[in-house]
Structure 1
Amino acid sequence: MENVKVFLNFLRKFVTITDEEFEKSIQPVLKVRKFRKKEFLVKQGEIEHYFNFISKGIIRKYYKTSKVETNVQISTEGQVILGQQSFLSREPSEYFVEAIEPATVISIRHDKLEELYAQSKRMERLGRLVITHMMIVSDTWQMQMIKMTPRERFIAFVNKNPELMRRVPQKYLASYLNIKPETFSRFKHLLKNNPNNMAA
């Protein structure tokens, strides 16, 4: 199954896993789940039961105060997304996790993941390395949000994620980058009309 092979390649970034080991230990606990556009993987107040690797599509994580949605993560193919606080603590999620476009994810239930960890020290180490990776990515992003100006955040995001500018609604990106919608529109206009000046 092609979706599962992509997940195997992701895991191999952290530890060496043979095809046989993957098929015997990991593949049996994987679940391929498909979501329609705007369908929720988990809602605020629910328990997050799944660790999700995105095989296809784009998914966002956000919290809601009054009528305002604040996006804290926008992830696409080859990335991990979940209500991490809820998944690890087994307490209700503070976040909504929603498909921006039709999405396919490779998921592992929390209880199955614990069983996998119990099988061997290697599986436990793999889990620790993946979680560490997620924390580093999150902390790096938070530091960029603090240290960079809105213009710098916009340029860095465009350079790293040009395709997301086309696939993700502008209001989501503006929220994610903590840039006012009108400022985001101005940056986008400048980039379109004079990319060299924008990058300066």
Structure 2
Amino acid sequence: MAVKSSGILDLLKANNLFEEELVVKRNEFLKVAGTVDTNIYFIEEGSLRIYIAQEKEEQIIRFGYQNDLIVSLDSFLIEEPSDFYIQAIKKTVVKVISKKAFFDFINKEEDNLKLWNSILQNLVLQQMEREKDLLISSVNERYSRVLKRSPRLFQEIPHKYIANYLRMTPETLSRLKKS
């Protein structure tokens, strides 16, 4: 899942939580299905997609780009393998925080715990919006909702990935953008 940092970065930097920096080349994987990943990643530059592969088809569920936190939330929380892939759309630089370092930090002070609750709340609300998008049968309405909610997405992410995310063909997306 991805969440906007809105001040989180400053707090994480001030507490020196970043343990390493990774450069993920275009199309390279940060995480593959069937693996456990308990890290949180802060995207310094570039963009990533989270997707699931089903019956030889990929279905994108989330994007992350500069100043987002991204995590394989299921694997992070329960420390079991996840079905999700996290792949770089273009060269991406991420800073890494381990689960242990993050939980040591959030358990240190009540304000830090409030930060974690805010992150989780944001992720739940994003997921609810995503589920609403998927239930809407009108491609026009789906497109409009996502454009209104995430206009930057259309500047950062190639259209073929956005079309997949919106559950439409690239041609349909192109027609919607022109109208």
CA displacement 1:142-179 (0-9 Å, x = unmatched): 21332362112223334554554354333311110111
- Give 1:69 deviation, angstroms: 0.5
Aligned to 1:72: 61
**Any stretches of 5+ residues in structure 2 without a counterpart?**
none
Q: Does 1:56 align with 2:45?
A: yes
Structure with bigger gyration radius: 1
**TM-score, with length taken from structure 2:** 0.83
Aligned length: 176
Contact kept? 1:10, 1:78, Cα under 8 Å: no
SS at match of 2:168: coil
**Counterparts of 1:102 and 1:177, CA distance in 2:** 24
Name the one with the larger helix percent. Answer: 1
Deviations 1:43-97 (A, max 9, x none): 1011112112222111100000121000001221222222111111101011000
Query: Once superposed, what is the RMSD of the aligned Cα atoms?
Result: 2.6
| 1:182 CA displacement | 3.7
- CA deviation after TM superposition for structure 1 residue 186, in Å: 3.0
Q: 1:68 to 1:135 in 2, by over 3 A?
A: same
Is the strand fraction higher in 1 or 2? 2
Aligned counterpart, 1:3: none
> Partner of 2:98 in structure 1?
109
Q: Displaced runs of 4+ in structure 1, greater than 6 A?
A: none
Q: Could you say which residue in structure 2 is the equivalent of 1:10?
A: 7
Is the 8 Å Cα contact of residues 60 and 98 (structure 1) preserved in structure 2? Answer: yes
Report the TM-score, using the length of structure 1 for normalisation. Answer: 0.76
Q: Which has the higher contact order (CA 8 A, sep 6+)?
A: 2
The CA deviation string for residues 107-163 of structure 1, in whole angstroms up to 9 with x for no partner, is: 211111122123222222211211111111221222133236211222333455455
